[in-house]
Amino acid sequence: MILVFSKNEEQEISVSFKDAGCTTTFNYITMIKSLIDVKKMEEPEFIGDFSEAEKESVRSMVSHINHEVTDFYSEEQD
């Protein structure tokens, strides 16, 4: 699963995600279902003019989510 962040000329940000070759509008329930299946988010994609600080913030969020998912499944196996 890959989150895709797009920024238009008005600086409005929208989010979609790619999963199994399909791109869909982002929603939390679909994201959680996908995380249950794949157990990891890939590096996010950025379309438009994002600052390095914005990119790093999103990458940090994805890293944190991946860490929490990994911890959850490793505790489940114990």
pLDDT at residue 71 greater than cutoff 70: yes
Mean pLDDT within 62-76: 91
User: pLDDT tens digit string along 18-56?
Assistant: 987 888 899 999 889 888 988 999 999 999 999 999 999
Taking only the tens place, the pLDDT of each residue in 44-53 is: 999 999 999 9
Whether the pLDDT of residue 78 is over 80: the answer is no
Joined tokens for residue 12: 């409005």
Q: Where along the chain do its domains lie?
A: 2-77
- In the sheet that holds 22-25, the strands lie side by side as 22-25, 13-19, 2-7, 45-47
**pTM across the whole model:** 0.84
- Write out the DSSP string of 1-37: -EEEEEE-TT--EEEEEEETTEEEE--HHHHHHHHHH
Identify the pLDDT of residue 64.
97
